[in-house]
Structure 1
Amino acid sequence: MSTRILPVVGDADAARSITTLLSQLPDAEPAGPVGDSTSLIDTLARLAAESIDELPEVVLVHERIGPVPALELIREVALRFPAVGVILVSTDAGPGLFAAAMDSGARGLVGLPLSYEELAQRVQAAAAWSVGVRRHLGQGADVFTGPGGTVITVSGAKGGVGTTTVAVQLALAARASGMNTALADLDLQAGDIASYLDVQFRRSIVDLASIQDISPRVLQDAVYIHPSGIGMLLAPGEGERGEEVNERSVRQIVSALRNRYEVVVIDCGTQMNSANAAAIEMADTTLLLTTPDVVSVRAAKRMVRLWDRLQIRKAEETVIVVNRHTRNTEIQPPLIERITSTRVARVTIPANFKELQPAVDAGRMQDLESKSTVKQAMWGLAGELGLVKTPEGGEKNSKFKGDRGSVGVLRGRSRPHD
């Protein structure tokens, strides 16, 4: 049986060298190299959507891959595609990096310059492990499989623009249409999704922050299942504990949610930190809420520029949602689109807080009346984004899906920006 090997190498010379040596291995079937982390994840997701058997047995990750660092990339592959054996290729083959690679989910470490004997040994071991895992998966084991669901992040240009309300209603709309849906609160210092849906639950996202390997059972223990059917991962009750959630843990948590749910809606609040920056970068679609006034639109423009400078999300990959829209305001969606250099969602949410107030005051957003124009708009937005199934039961189809940012994340910052 041949071993399918997918090299992930950004440097052209290194790619040629690795591919040449791989072609000399017995029973090896090397594929053409992919040049960055985003291409790897997209390739594996496409193959996994067809069948787990279509995935390569071995993925070789070069140390200088980007934009996601090699160890973080290995961790994401291990979480999302557990039947793939990952090998790290590095000039540093010392015990420190070996331990870090193993903690991230790698099945081996090969030093540079490459040795035929060492490479053959590591590939053979990783391939044998992969075959064993696939046999185990075929017996219905309780582990993640498949390419995962759609991740939508919802951020606010500034406070008070309706970020949490929209996030909650998008999740309710997706669940009501039959989609297996999660709602996560990454507004770590001030998030209070629980109050919007009348939830009391002692566990939060902090309980997952220090866990190296989030299994389905561990995730299940931290998620509250709302009566509507939504799986809720809450922000900590003590805001200061939000600093325990860092970029690394968010990458693990988002990957785990993506592999458990068809739709994952993440409320990122209005403040930027390394944790929600990682979620925004990983998302399939990023929403930025604004109201049609000068202060909010300026704040939206600043946020878009910040994401672009930090290489989290490009302006053209950001979707602006206009909340509290009225026809007689001078600031209309086309103007907002030009000012922010983004795309503005076709669906705008009307200004009618009186419809929302009873549900908000009662903490039961799930009881918002169906005839509410605000609810109809937010659920229409869910449809535009492809978060709901079609009436005929077809698959979701969003023009925004697949626009995930493919650039680096904010690092070394544990406190929100002002």
Structure 2
Amino acid sequence: MQPLISLVIIDSDHSARTAIEATLRPFSETIGIVGSASDFSEGLGMIEKSSPNVVMLEVGDIQKGMQEVQLICAKFPRTSVIVSATEKSSDWILSLMRAGAVEYMLRPITQEELKQALQKVGRFLFTKGADDTPRGRIFSIYYPTGGVGTTTVAVNLAASLASEGTRVALVDLNLYSGDISTFLDVSPTYTLSSVTSNIERLDANFLMTVMTRHSSGPFVLTEPNEVDDAILITPDQVRRILEFLRGVFTYVVVDCGGPLAGCNLAIFESSDLILFTTTLSLPALKNSKRYLSAMERKGLRKDRVKLVVNRYLPKADIQVKDAEKVLGHTVYQTIPNDYIDVVGSINKGMPVVRISPGSPVSKAILHLAEMMTK
């Protein structure tokens, strides 16, 4: 029987390689070591030959380690990288995770720690195929103009949904002012326009090649680099992309904004839930009322459109009950105003639910994810 997880070890310490092999020997039916190398060049050859699910990479120099992780992730997007190092610095951990590593392990590695790390990666890699599971659910995060934090909600919701290894896609369909690449500090080779311009080639292999796997969990498809590229994207292309993503991922989170027409209507038609995100300010509520009424006239029922109040302050002049009365919608979830933690997470390129899971805004978004998946 072929093991479920194939593994390549790249480690300069012979005794460490031997210890990892001995640790994994009892699990040989599920984890198969297909290569063990003492240096990166040799290990890279093994990866090219065997296309393993996982690479265990020793890191002794942070800059070199980041480059090696980035190279593996770029050339082999289906391979997960677990790094091991003696350095306890949070800068090392964050830098290597941002480079694409899915786990950071302190040396020496214990059997239990290694087992847990591989179990986590295994859950991420080996969910049932699309033919065996219900179609994935699509959640769109929307407000017609900028400034209310839709991208903050989208990025953190996607990371929350992916927290247990669930396959999650995060797509930036805010075509003219998308910002997911900035929030996650990614500069992908391929963007949304790479998919739309090759729509006839769309299949699982092509999709996984062009999407960027962020260290916080989701597979990311970022906004077009050029405005001219965005103009060429059609509602039919959006429908096709979302329908395909639904067949590959358990959850698809879409960040969107702009007019209630064209591609946005295509997004809403495909969405299981639409999180209409607003704030408790007079201008935002006035605009929200106009658009919520228009959405209802277009057949988007209230049970599919959920009202989320972002940057919530309990002692603000306008209260939740006032907003509900004005908008004719019950508030689905409030997300506290947590400027310092949120801005800090954006500057670090990592969702706040990952770097400050105990913060009020993180707890609110994690609760939001729980409600949406019941």
- Whether the TM-score (by the shorter chain) exceeds 0.5 is yes
Check whether the contact 1:170–1:378 (CA below 8 A) recurs between aligned residues: yes
Structure-2 change in CA distance of 1:251 and 1:143 (3 Å): farther
The match for 2:315 among 316, 323, 328 is 328
Match of 1:121 in 2: none
TM-score by length of 2: 0.61
The aligned amino acid for 2:224 is: P
What are the equivalent positions in structure 2 for 1:10-409 lying under 5 Å apart?
144-145=130-131, 146-210=133-197, 211-212=199-200, 214-311=202-299, 313-345=300-332, 347-365=333-351, 367-386=354-373, 397=374
Deviations 1:49-100 (A, max 9, x none): xxxxxxxxxxxxxxxxxxxxxxxxxxxxxxxxxxxxxxxxxxxxxxxxxxxx
Q: CA deviation at 1:306?
A: 2.4
Alignment check: 8 A CA contact 1:155 1:288 kept? yes
2:9 maps to which residue? none
Q: Is the 8 A contact 1:154 1:288 kept in 2?
A: yes
CA shift, 1:299, in A, is 1.0
In the aligned structure 2, how far is the partner of 1:171 from the partner of 1:222?
Answer: 18
Contact 1:180 1:262 survives alignment (8 Å) = yes
Give the residue type in structure 2 aligned to 1:252.
R
| Conservation of the 8 A alpha-carbon contact between 1:292 and 1:325 | yes
Shift of 1:144: 4.9
How far is the alpha carbon of 1:335 from its aligned partner?
2.6
> What is the one-letter code of the residue matched to 1:253?
I
Residue deviations 1:266-305 (CA, integer Å, cap 9, x gap): 0012444411221112111000111011111111111112
SS for the counterpart of 1:296 is helix
- Per-residue deviation at 1:193? 0.2
Letter of the 2:321 partner, please give it.
P
d(CA) in 2 for partners of 1:241, 1:273: 18
Name the aligned partner's letter for residue 205 of structure 2: R
Question: Structure 1 residues 355, 229: CA separation in 2 closer, same or farther (over 3 Å shift)?
Answer: closer
The answer (yes or no) to whether the contact 2:258–2:264 under 8 Å persists in 1 is: no
Q: CA deviation at 1:213?
A: 5.7
Relative to structure 1, the CA distance from residue 143 to residue 353 in structure 2 (aligned partners, 3 Å threshold; closer, same or farther) is closer
1:326 deviates by 1.4
**Length, aligned pairs only:** 244
Q: Which amino acid in 2 is paired with 1:274?
A: G
- Per the alignment, in what secondary structure is the counterpart of residue 361 of structure 1? helix
Structure 2 SS opposite 1:189: coil
1:273/1:248 CA distance change after superposition, 3 Å:
same
**Cα distance in structure 2, aligned partners of 1:158 and 1:190:** 10
Counterparts in 2 of 1:270 and 1:289: CA distance versus 1, 3 Å: farther
CA distance in 1, matches of 2:253, 2:364: 17
Q: Given that residues 184 and 349 in structure 2 are in contact (C-alpha distance below 8 angstroms), is that contact kept between their aligned partners in structure 1?
A: yes
- The answer on whether the counterparts of 1:156 and 1:288 sit within 8 Å (CA) in structure 2 is yes
Indicate conservation of the 8 Å contact 1:157/1:288, yes or no. Answer: no
Q: Distance in 1 between matches of 2:214 and 2:342?
A: 20
- Does the 8 Å CA contact 1:185/1:235 hold for their aligned counterparts? yes
- Runs (5+) with no aligned partner, structure 1: 1-141, 387-396, 398-418
> 2:232 & 2:370 partners in 1: Cα distance?
35
Q: Which moved more, 1:287-296 or 1:365-374?
A: 365-374
1:239 Cα deviation from its structure 2 partner: 2.2
Query: What fraction of aligned residue pairs are identical, expressed as a percent?
Result: 30
> Could you tell me whether the CA contact under 8 Å between 2:141 and 2:154 is conserved in 1?
yes
Name the CA shift for 1:383/1:293 in 2 (closer, same or farther; >3 Å). same
Question: Take 2:356 and 2:129, find their aligned partners in 1: how far apart are those partners?
Answer: 38
- 1:333 Cα offset (Å): 2.3
Residues 158 and 300 of structure 1 are in contact (CA less than 8 Å); yes or no, is this contact kept in structure 2? no
CA pair 143-350 structure 1, distance change in 2 beyond 3 A: closer
Output the amino acid matched with 1:283.
Answer: S
**Alignment TM-score, normalising by the size of structure 1:** 0.55
| Alpha-carbon distance, 1:252 to partner | 0.5
Paired position in structure 2 for 1:55: none
User: C-alpha distance in 2, partners of 1:338/1:177?
Assistant: 37
Unpaired runs of 5+ residues, structure 2, are 1-127
Distance (whole Å) between structure 2 residues aligned to residue 221 and residue 372 of structure 1: 34
Specify the code of the residue in structure 1 equivalent to 2:336: P
Whole-angstrom distance in 2 between the partners of 1:354 and 1:376: 15
